[in-house]
């Protein structure tokens, strides 16, 4: 009988560690690295600590990531202190076959989009469960100015969506920017570029969690058989 290695099933947490560590391959010595937010990025931040002496530091997309980076001795710069970043590494709630994403499950979408926009390359790190045919199964996070929430909710209803204010401890969750999040279910986002352009223009919308203009160039996908690298077409600095 042949020697067969037993099938190993990795947990979602192990897949996140796998892609977090794999992302180190995109970290260039001497650079300032764009760092996202979330449980997958937390694995990347832990791995990045092993390279702390080789990089200048990080631009962070949230107070939570800033605290983690600083606790590990990685200097954090403000976005305004850096013109352009070579790479931005972040997770996603959904990613499709073109590198378009839904983000904002961790409520950090606004700063995530800002850092992505100043980066030449977005490397998305995600476990396989995040890969979708079409965006919209995950409720779309939208950061809004509170006084505009009802009208924006009605505008989403006209598109077939249902918007709910994200709550924490019985109160609306406040973002790092002091605004609130609407989570919109029931949308089918067939044209992510057009959808992002449309919703971004609605008065009171701070940031819509569709990342199409700031899409990923690379996705490191954690699968049962290891890290699968998916590459989408390159583009220079995104606007």
> Which two three-digit tokens encode residue 202?
């609605």
> Minimum Å distance from CB 44 to ligand 5RP?
9
Residue with tokens 């530091």: 57
Check: CB of residue 223 under 8 Å from CB of residue 106.
no
Instruction: Please say whether the beta carbons of 107 and 164 come within 8 A.
Output: no
The single residue among 27, 32, 45, 109 that binds ligand 5RP, judged by CB under 6 A, is: 109
Rule CB under 6 A: is residue 143 a binding residue for ligand 5RP? Answer: no
For the chain, the residue count is 239
The yes or no reply on residue 40 touching ligand 5RP (CB under 6 A) is yes
Of 108 and 206, nearer to ligand 5RP (C-beta) is 108
Instruction: With contacts defined by CB under 6 A, name the span among 3-11, 47-55, 85-93, 160-168 that binds ligand 5RP.
Output: 85-93
**CB of residue 127 to ligand 5RP, shortest distance in Å:** 8
Instruction: Say whether residue 107 binds ligand 5RP (CB under 6 A).
Output: yes
Q: Which of 31, 84, 94, 112 is catalytic?
A: 112
Site for ligand 5RP contains 23 (CB under 6 A): no
Q: Interface with ligand 5RP includes 121 (CB under 6 A)? A: no
Query: Is residue 20 within the footprint of ligand 5RP (CB under 6 A)?
Result: no
Binding region for ligand 5RP (CB under 6 A) out of 35-43, 46-54, 67-75, 199-207: 35-43
CA atoms of 182 and 159, how far apart (whole Å): 15
The residue (of 62 and 155) whose beta carbon lies closer to ligand 5RP is 62
Residue 181 within binding range of ligand 5RP, rule CB under 6 A: no
- Per CB under 6 A, the segment of 3-11, 71-79, 107-115, 187-195 that binds ligand 5RP is 107-115
The window from 1-9, 31-39, 71-79, 169-177 that contacts ligand 5RP (CB under 6 A) reads 31-39
Say if residues 124 and 216 touch (Cβ distance below 8 Å).
Answer: yes
81 is catalytic: no
**Alpha-carbon distance 56 to 29, whole Å?**
8
Q: Summarize as ranges the residues that interact with ligand 5RP (CB under 6 A).
A: 36-40, 90-93, 103-109, 112
Instruction: Please give the positions annotated as active site.
Output: 112
């Amino acid at each position: 009988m042949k020697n067969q290695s037993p099938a190993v099933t990795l947990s979602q947490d192990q897949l996140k560690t796998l892609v977090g560590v794999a992302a180190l391959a995109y970290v260039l010595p001497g650079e300032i690295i764009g760092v996202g937010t979330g449980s997958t990025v937390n694995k990347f931040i832990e791995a990045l600590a092993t390279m702390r002496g080789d990089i200048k530091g990080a631009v962070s997309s949230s107070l939570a990531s800033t605290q983690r980076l600083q606790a590990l001795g990685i200097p954090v710069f403000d976005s305004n202190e850096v013109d352009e970043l070579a790479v931005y590494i972040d997770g996603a709630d959904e990613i499709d076959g073109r590198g378009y994403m839904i983000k904002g499950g961790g409520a950090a979408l606004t700063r995530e989009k800002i850092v992505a926009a100043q980066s030449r390359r977005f490397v998305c790190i995600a476990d396989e469960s995040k890969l979708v045919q079409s965006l919209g199964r995950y409720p779309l996070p939208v950061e809004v100015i509170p006084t505009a929430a009802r009208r924006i909710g009605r505008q989403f209803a006209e598109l077939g969506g249902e918007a709910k204010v994200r709550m924490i401890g019985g109160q609306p969750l406040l973002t790092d920017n002091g605004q609130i999040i609407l989570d919109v279910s029931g949308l089918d986002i067939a044209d992510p570029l057009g959808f992002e352009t449309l919703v971004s223009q609605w008065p009171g919308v701070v940031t819509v969690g569709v990342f199409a203009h700031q899409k990923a160039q690379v996705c490191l996908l954690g699968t049962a058989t290891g890290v699968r690298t998916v590459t989408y077409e390159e583009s220079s600095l995104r606007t």
